[in-house]
Amino acid sequence: MTSPETESAVIIDEPDTSFVEMIKRTGGPNVQNCFQCGTCSGSCPAGARTNYLVRLIIRKALLGLKEEVISAPELWYCTTCYTCQDRCPQEVNPTDVIKAIRNIAVAEGYMLDNHRKTAAKVVDAGHAVPLDKDTWRKLRESVGLEPVPPNASGNPWAIEEIRKITRKSGFDSLIGYEEMRRAAEEKARQKAKKG
């Protein structure tokens, strides 16, 4: 749950403001309003049990410490509950700021393997939680529903539309979709050989 803190002091002669400008594009215009009151971290259920500190992340961001902010694993402990956003007296919109920082982290290659896999499921099946086993179809039938719902699970053309979107938007390469798909195919081949 913890990551090692920086051992030596970070020397900041002149704050680099380019990171803040990147954050403002999608995280809202008010990040520089932050006066470090700590209402966000005081309200944060993730901060109560991990080393995720919204206040610290925002302060570091304002000082331009981009690499330190985007590479920190604790960035991914925010559940986006928006309690900090509802309480922030300076209208910083901290949850939106965190999501903006996460977008920048992903764009620069910082993404957890489990998150890549979840993202790939949407590209593969149209759903992050897919109807991927017979058990789930039977479960539906047992409650009096048709085995396959009218969503993408029974409509391959819908999945094809998602793939066109994720190819065009660059999401496939962002999450390394092709590499993951090839690795999964290779694994299946090896398994078939053994079996």
Partner 1 sequence: MISRMARPKFYHFLGCIIPHRYPSIERAARLVFEDLGVELLDMVGATCCPAPGVFGSFDRVTWASIAARNLTIAEAGGHPITTGCNGCFASLWDANHELHVDEELRKRVNENLAEIGREFKGTIEVTHYVDVLVNTVGLDEVRRHVVRPLEGVRMALHPGCHWMRPRALKKKDNSERPRIFRELCETSGAEYVPYKDELICCGAGGAVRTADLKVSLDFTKQKFESIEEAGGADIIVTPCPFCELQLDLGQVEIQKNFGVEFTYDVLHVMELLALAFGHEPGEFGLKTHLQYLQRKSEPRWERLGVKA
Contact range with partner 1 by CB under 8 A, out of 61-69, 97-105, 177-185, 186-194: 97-105
Letter string b/e over residues 140-173, b meaning 16 or more CB atoms within 10 A of that residue's CB: beeeeeeeeeeebbeeeeebeebbeebeeeebbe
8 A C-beta contact, residue 98 and residue 57: yes
Among positions 15, 151, 189, 190, the unique one binding partner 1 when judged by CB under 8 A:
151
- Residue 47 is classified by DSSP as T
38 or 130: whose CB is closer to partner 1?
Answer: 130
Q: Alpha-carbon Rg of the chain, whole angstroms?
A: 21
Q: Which of 21, 67, 108, 161 binds partner 1 (CB under 8 A)?
A: 161
For the window 162-181, what string marks contact with partner 1 as x by the rule CB under 8 A?
Answer: x-xxx-xxxx--xx------
Cα angle at 65 between 29 and 116, to 5 degrees? Answer: 80
Instruction: Rank residues 143 and 192 by Cβ distance to partner 1 and give the closer one.
Output: 143
Q: Nearest to residue 101, comparing CAs of 126, 67, 129?
A: 67
Decide if residue 2 touches partner 1 (CB under 8 A): no
Binding mask 125-144 for partner 1 (x = CB under 8 A): -xxxxxx----x--xx-xxx
Between CA 131 and CA 113 the distance in angstroms is 22
Residue 175 Cβ, how far from partner 1 at the closest point, in Å?
Answer: 7
- Residues in contact with partner 1, counted by CB under 8 A, come to a total of 64
CA distances from 181 to 113, 151, 169 (A): 14, 23, 18
Interface residues with partner 1 (CB under 8 A) are 1, 26, 45-46, 49-50, 76-83, 85-86, 93, 95, 99-100, 102-103, 106-107, 111-112, 114-115, 118-119, 122, 126-131, 136, 139-140, 142-145, 149-153, 155, 157-159, 161-162, 164-166, 168-171, 174-175
